[in-house]
């Protein structure tokens, strides 16, 4: 069909970046989960998934409605729950890898399949899939279904649709909710480390999986650690408002601010695909010119003759005013001043909890109104583009799509207000009751979620770290395992995250002295296996000489530390002893 009259360039490349990034996040999620299914959800795993899928006498469709997961189909295919989960993971790896490599596969049907597959696993994942990045992937994956092309009547069709900017706006709204809530909850939680700006003095040292760079970050001086917390507040609370700015350079400033924060987190800690996915969401702040310039395919816009027009002058003036206000408010509300005697920059929180909650109550609903105006503008602009389409049939087809997707966008925006306003309960109570009812009807599908990472800083005073070791005779202990193998810094960051039953192995590591089996603070279990030199079953996959069903220490064993605990005082001949000591970690990672 003929293209519409020229207007703003459609976000083709930014949309392509988003869809490829979501496919990469799915690939990391499915691949990471696949290697852990037996150890986490198998018959002898920590939390067997078969216990979640209990038959209730309902029909198949009723079960799918109440508890949507494709694993209900397993028995009819002759698969148990564990094999069914592995099959879903493999299908997810295949589809996401194909979508990552081949642009024609980045369509609505493929992303709908990926979303259904991950939702099916999420439903039985229990505590190991209750991380915020799992909810974020499901919500971003659902938006990818709306953003991706469906290729209906695609013969000779343009690479974009008039309503694309409407559905792509939902990605920007998700990014705003994620970042703004993550910043606000740090203060509403009344965590003393966040209010004292000392959170990062604990974070690098006690996070779950630090990288080697975390050790160096932990050595930074106190004034810099506090300044870093101030920068975190600015990036997570103040800068997200610029996501809806009409000036593109302000949106680009917001984009690079978010990317900077996420890259620094990636360098110092492993949080699965969360940071990568957040950067992918930030692609919604980019325009066609900027993405094209970075790839060498940009068509430079006509900037007009010199001297600059009044519009350009006002744009620059607004930009400078915005940056000045950000700097002024940062200095004012965080008491930033230079100590010339010590030659350092001091900072402290210069407002009270009551003042902050009063401010939050005052801005929550106006922020919703700002987002509504931004979405309404995108919908009206899309309607204009539909009117500009030439040809009666194609104009009607574009208008029909606009009606469907604009309605869907308004619906998703409306129900997302419920979890967003959880940060301020008074604002949440002022929402229309119908919105609460609509959210409750789809809540089990994880279409929209509430966010707020690091509400309270964990690891203050050190963290418990479980160290597992194996032995043939109870005297010589080998294979110290844990986030860092029990010694030294952890490995580099990657978009996968080991769960409780997954640990790295240290080939050839030996204890320097014999260890007792039932000492205080030690978890001991007898594993009746054939000799296995490396406890690779901790990965959820067995090495060549191990049996097919790994035996794993149950969570109760870890929670009971430092009380002695044993599965068997007299291990049978040929067994390997698995010992886990629970110690408090307070030193450098």
CB count within 10 Å of CB 220 equals: 14
pLDDT at 564: 31
Task: Please determine, for residue 22, whether its predicted confidence score (pLDDT) is greater than 80.
Answer: yes
pLDDT at 158: 46
pLDDT at 314: 87
pLDDT at 351: 94
Segment 191-234, tens digit of pLDDT: 999 999 999 999 998 888 889 999 999 999 999 999 999 999 99
For strand 522-527 and strand 565-566, is the pairing parallel, antiparallel, or unpaired?
parallel
Task: Please determine, for residue 563, whether its predicted confidence score (pLDDT) is greater than 90.
Answer: no
pLDDT at 123: 93
Query: Residue 58: pLDDT band by 50, 70, 90 thresholds?
Result: confident
Do residues 301 and 7 touch, judged by C-beta distance below 8 A? no
> What order of strands is seen across the sheet that includes strand 565-566?
477-481, 463-471, 576-585, 522-527, 565-566
Task: Please determine, for residue 332, whether its predicted confidence score (pLDDT) is greater than 90.
Answer: yes
Segment 92-136, tens digit of pLDDT: 999 999 999 999 999 999 999 999 999 999 999 998 998 899 999
pLDDT at 487: 53
pLDDT at 391: 84
* Across 9-23, 84-98, 251-265, 563-577, least confident range: 563-577
DSSP 68: -
Can the peptide bond before residue 402 be classed as cis, meaning omega within 30 degrees of 0?
A: no
Task: Please determine, for residue 392, whether its predicted confidence score (pLDDT) is greater than 80.
Answer: yes
**Residues in a beta bridge with 345:** 338
Task: Please determine, for residue 296, whether its predicted confidence score (pLDDT) is greater than 90.
Answer: no
Query: Residue 569: pLDDT band by 50, 70, 90 thresholds?
Result: very low
pLDDT at 57: 72
Give the H or E element holding residue 401: helix 392-420
DSSP 533: S
For residues 143 and 515, the model is more confident at: 143
CA distances to 104, 494, 578 from 547, in Å: 42, 29, 16
CB count within 10 Å of CB 517 equals: 17
* Across 47-61, 226-240, 446-460, least confident range: 47-61
pLDDT at 225: 95
Spans of all domains in the chain: 1-157, 461-589
pLDDT at 21: 96
pLDDT at 507: 30
pLDDT at 297: 59
Task: Please determine, for residue 328, whether its predicted confidence score (pLDDT) is greater than 90.
Answer: yes
The CB-side HSE value for 242 (13 A sphere, CA atoms) comes to 28
pLDDT at 26: 97
pLDDT at 440: 94
pLDDT at 300: 53
Give dist(CA 300, CA 289) in Å, integer.
7
What does the pLDDT average to over 350-376? 96
Supply the pTM of this predicted model. Answer: 0.81
Query: Residue 491: pLDDT band by 50, 70, 90 thresholds?
Result: low
Query: Residue 176: pLDDT band by 50, 70, 90 thresholds?
Result: very high
Instruction: Dump strand ranges (E) for 401-533.
Output: 463-471, 477-481, 522-527
Query: Residue 548: pLDDT band by 50, 70, 90 thresholds?
Result: very low
Task: Please determine, for residue 547, whether its predicted confidence score (pLDDT) is greater than 90.
Answer: no
Segment 146-173, tens digit of pLDDT: 999 987 655 444 467 888 999 999 999 9
Can the peptide bond before residue 366 be classed as cis, meaning omega within 30 degrees of 0?
A: no
pLDDT at 567: 34
């Amino acid at each position: 069909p003929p293209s519409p009259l020229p207007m703003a360039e459609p976000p083709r490349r930014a949309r392509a970046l988003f869809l490829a990034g979501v496919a990469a996040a799915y690939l990391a999620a499915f691949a990471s989960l696949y290697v852990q299914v037996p150890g986490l959800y198998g018959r002898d795993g920590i939390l067997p998934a078969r216990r979640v899928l209990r038959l209730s006498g309902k029909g198949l469709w009723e079960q799918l409605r109440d508890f949507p997961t494709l694993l209900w189909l397993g028995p009819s295919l002759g698969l148990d729950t564990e094999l069914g989960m592995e099959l879903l993971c493999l299908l997810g790896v295949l589809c996401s890898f194909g979508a990552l490599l081949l642009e024609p596969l980045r369509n609505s049907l493929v992303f709908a399949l990926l979303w259904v597959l991950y939702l099916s696993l999420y439903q039985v994942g229990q505590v190991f899939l209750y991380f915020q990045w799992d909810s974020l992937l499901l919500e971003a994956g659902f938006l990818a279904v709306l953003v991706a092309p469906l290729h209906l009547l695609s013969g000779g069709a343009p690479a974009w649709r008039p309503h694309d900017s409407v559905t792509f706006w939902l990605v920007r709204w998700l990014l705003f909710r994620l970042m703004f809530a993550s910043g606000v909850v740090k203060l509403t939680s009344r965590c003393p480390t966040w209010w004292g700006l000392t959170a990062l003095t604990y974070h690098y040292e006690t996070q779950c999986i630090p990288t080697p760079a975390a050790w160096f970050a932990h050595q930074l001086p106190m004034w810099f650690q506090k300044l870093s917390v101030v920068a975190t507040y600015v990036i997570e609370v103040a800068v997200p408002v610029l996501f809806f700015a009409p000036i593109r350079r302000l949106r680009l400033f917001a984009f690079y601010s978010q990317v900077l924060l996420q890259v620094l987190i990636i360098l110092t800690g492993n949080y699965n695909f969360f940071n990568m996915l957040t950067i992918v969401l930030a692609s919604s702040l980019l325009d066609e010119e900027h993405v094209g310039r970075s790839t060498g395919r940009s068509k430079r816009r006509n900037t007009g003759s010199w001297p600059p027009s009044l519009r350009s002058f006002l744009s620059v003036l607004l930009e400078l005013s915005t940056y000045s206000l950000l700097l002024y408010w940062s200095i004012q509300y965080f008491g930033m001043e230079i100590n010339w005697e010590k030659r350092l920059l001091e900072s402290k929180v210069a407002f009270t909890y009551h003042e902050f909650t009063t401010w939050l109550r005052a801005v929550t609903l106006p922020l919703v109104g700002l987002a509504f105006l931004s979405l309404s503008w995108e919908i009206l602009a899309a309607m204009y583009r539909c009117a500009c389409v030439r040809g009666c049939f194609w104009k009607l087809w574009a208008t029909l799509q606009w009606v469907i997707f604009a309605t869907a966008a308004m619906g998703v925006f409306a129900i997302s207000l419920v979890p967003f306003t959880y940060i301020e309960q008074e604002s949440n109570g002022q929402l229309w009751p119908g919105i609460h009812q609509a959210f409750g009807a789809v809540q089990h599908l994880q279409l929209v979620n509430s966010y707020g990472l690091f509400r309270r800083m964990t690891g203050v005073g050190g963290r418990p770290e479980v160290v597992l070791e194996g032995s043939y005779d109870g005297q010589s202990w080998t294979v110290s395992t844990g986030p860092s193998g029990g010694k030294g810094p952890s490995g580099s960051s990657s978009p996968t995250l080991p769960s409780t039953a997954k640990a790295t192995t240290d080939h050839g590591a030996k204890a320097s002295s014999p260890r007792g089996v039932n000492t205080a603070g030690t978890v001991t279990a007898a594993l009746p296996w054939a000799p296995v030199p490396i406890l690779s079953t901790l990965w959820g996959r067995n090495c060549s000489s191990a049996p097919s069903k790994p035996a794993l220490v149950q969570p109760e064993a870890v929670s009971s530390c430092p009380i002695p605990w044993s599965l068997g005082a007299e291990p049978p001949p040929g067994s390997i002893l698995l010992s886990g000591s629970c110690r408090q970690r307070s030193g450098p990672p």
